[in-house]
Structure 1
Amino acid sequence: MSSIVTPGPRRPGIHRRLLMWWGHRPIAQLAVIASFIALLVYLGINVTTTMARIGVSPGFDFLWRSANFEIGESPITFAAGDPYLRAMLAGLLNTLKVSLIGCVLATVVGVTVGVAGLSGNLLLASLVRWYVELIRNTPLLLQLFFWISLAKAFPAPRQAGALLGSVYLTNRGVYLPAVSAEGLPVAAPVLVIFIIFALGLVLVLLSHLKRLNGRTIAIATVAILAAATTAFVASGAKLTFETPALAGFNLRGGYNLTPEFAALLTGLIVKFSAAIAEIVRAGIQSVNRGQWEAARALGLHNGQIMRLIVLPQALRVITPLATSSYLDLTKDSSLAVAIGYPDLVSIVNTTANTTGQSLEALMILIGTYLGINLVVSALMNQYNKRVALKGTAR
Structure 2
Amino acid sequence: MSLRRPTVKGAFSFSNPAVRAWLFQILAVVVVLLIAAYLIHNTITNLSNRGITSGFAFLDRAAGFGIVQHLIDYQQGDTYGRVFLVGLLNTLLVSALCIVFASILGFFLGLARLSDNWLLRKISTVYIETFRNIPPLLQIFFWYFAVLRNLPGPRQAVDAFDLVFLSNRGLYIPAPQLGEGMGAFLAAVLIAVGVTVGLYRYNKTHQMKTGQLRRTWPWAIALLIGLPALAHALYGAALHWDIPALRGFNFRGGMALIPELAALTLALSVYTSAFIAEIIRAGILSVPHGQHEAARSLALPNPVTLRQVIIPQAMRVIIPPLTSQYLNIAKNSSLAAAIGYPDMVSLFAGTVLNQTGQAIETIAITMSVYLIISLSISLLMNIYNRRIALVER
Give the structure-2-normalised TM-score: 0.79
Aligned counterpart, 2:126: 130
Aligned counterpart, 1:311: 311
Q: Deviations over 1:46-103 (max 9, x none)?
A: 1111111222111111111111222111111112221111101100000011111111
Moved more, 55-64 or 135-144: 55-64
Aligned counterpart, 2:209: none
AA at the equivalent of 1:335: L
1:96 correspondence with 2:96: no
Q: Are the structure 2 counterparts of residues 226 and 386 from structure 1 closer, same or farther at C-alpha, using a change threshold of 3 Å?
A: farther
Aligned counterpart, 1:284: 284
For 1:68-147, list aligned pairs within 5 A.
68-147=64-143
Distance in 2, matches of 1:228 and 1:145, equals 48
AA at the equivalent of 1:172: R
Aligned counterpart, 1:8: none
Aligned counterpart, 1:53: 49
Aligned counterpart, 2:23: 27
Moved more, 280-289 or 52-61: 52-61
* Shift of residue 105, structure 1, vs aligned partner: 1.3
SS at match of 1:381: helix
SS at match of 2:115: coil
CA contact (8 A) 2:182 2:238 kept: no
SS at match of 1:256: strand
For 1:290-369, list aligned pairs within 5 A.
290-349=290-349, 350-369=351-370
Distance in 1, matches of 2:133 and 2:69, equals 31
Q: Deviations over 1:317-346 (max 9, x none)?
A: 111111111111011101101110000111
Distance in 2, matches of 1:87 and 1:235, equals 38
* Shift of residue 246, structure 1, vs aligned partner: 5.0
Aligned counterpart, 1:152: 149
Q: Who wins on radius of gyration, i.e. which is larger?
A: 2
Distance in 2, matches of 1:164 and 1:170, equals 15
Distance in 2, matches of 1:272 and 1:119, equals 21
Q: Are the structure 2 counterparts of residues 32 and 256 from structure 1 closer, same or farther at C-alpha, using a change threshold of 3 Å?
A: same
Q: Are the structure 2 counterparts of residues 353 and 249 from structure 1 closer, same or farther at C-alpha, using a change threshold of 3 Å?
A: closer
1:372 correspondence with 2:368: no
Q: Are the structure 2 counterparts of residues 354 and 28 from structure 1 closer, same or farther at C-alpha, using a change threshold of 3 Å?
A: same
* Shift of residue 288, structure 1, vs aligned partner: 1.4
AA at the equivalent of 2:47: M
CA contact (8 A) 1:181 1:237 kept: no
CA contact (8 A) 2:177 2:242 kept: no
AA at the equivalent of 1:307: R
Q: Are the structure 2 counterparts of residues 131 and 158 from structure 1 closer, same or farther at C-alpha, using a change threshold of 3 Å?
A: same
Aligned counterpart, 1:206: none
Distance in 2, matches of 1:116 and 1:103, equals 20
AA at the equivalent of 2:315: L
Q: Are the structure 2 counterparts of residues 353 and 293 from structure 1 closer, same or farther at C-alpha, using a change threshold of 3 Å?
A: same
CA contact (8 A) 2:113 2:281 kept: yes
CA contact (8 A) 1:107 1:273 kept: yes
SS at match of 2:331: helix
Distance in 1, matches of 2:26 and 2:227, equals 58
Q: Are the structure 2 counterparts of residues 351 and 275 from structure 1 closer, same or farther at C-alpha, using a change threshold of 3 Å?
A: same
Moved more, 366-375 or 155-164: 155-164
CA contact (8 A) 2:178 2:239 kept: yes
AA at the equivalent of 2:167: T
Distance in 1, matches of 2:336 and 2:100, equals 18
Percent identity over paired residues = 44
Give the unaligned 5+ runs of structure 2: 1-10, 198-216
SS at match of 1:82: coil
Give the unaligned 5+ runs of structure 1: 1-14, 203-217
Give the structure-1-normalised TM-score: 0.79
Moved more, 369-378 or 90-99: 369-378
1:174 correspondence with 2:187: no
Q: Are the structure 2 counterparts of residues 104 and 390 from structure 1 closer, same or farther at C-alpha, using a change threshold of 3 Å?
A: same
Aligned counterpart, 1:387: 388
Question: May I ask how many residue pairs the two structures share in their alignment?
Answer: 348
Distance in 1, matches of 2:181 and 2:327, equals 37
SS at match of 1:158: helix
CA contact (8 A) 2:181 2:238 kept: no
Distance in 2, matches of 1:262 and 1:86, equals 24
Q: Are the structure 2 counterparts of residues 267 and 387 from structure 1 closer, same or farther at C-alpha, using a change threshold of 3 Å?
A: same
Moved more, 237-246 or 106-115: 237-246
For 1:149-298, list aligned pairs within 5 A.
149=145, 150-162=147-159, 168-176=165-173, 178=174, 180-181=176-177, 183-184=179-180, 229=228, 233=232, 235-239=235-239, 249-251=249-251, 255-298=255-298
Moved more, 167-176 or 89-98: 167-176
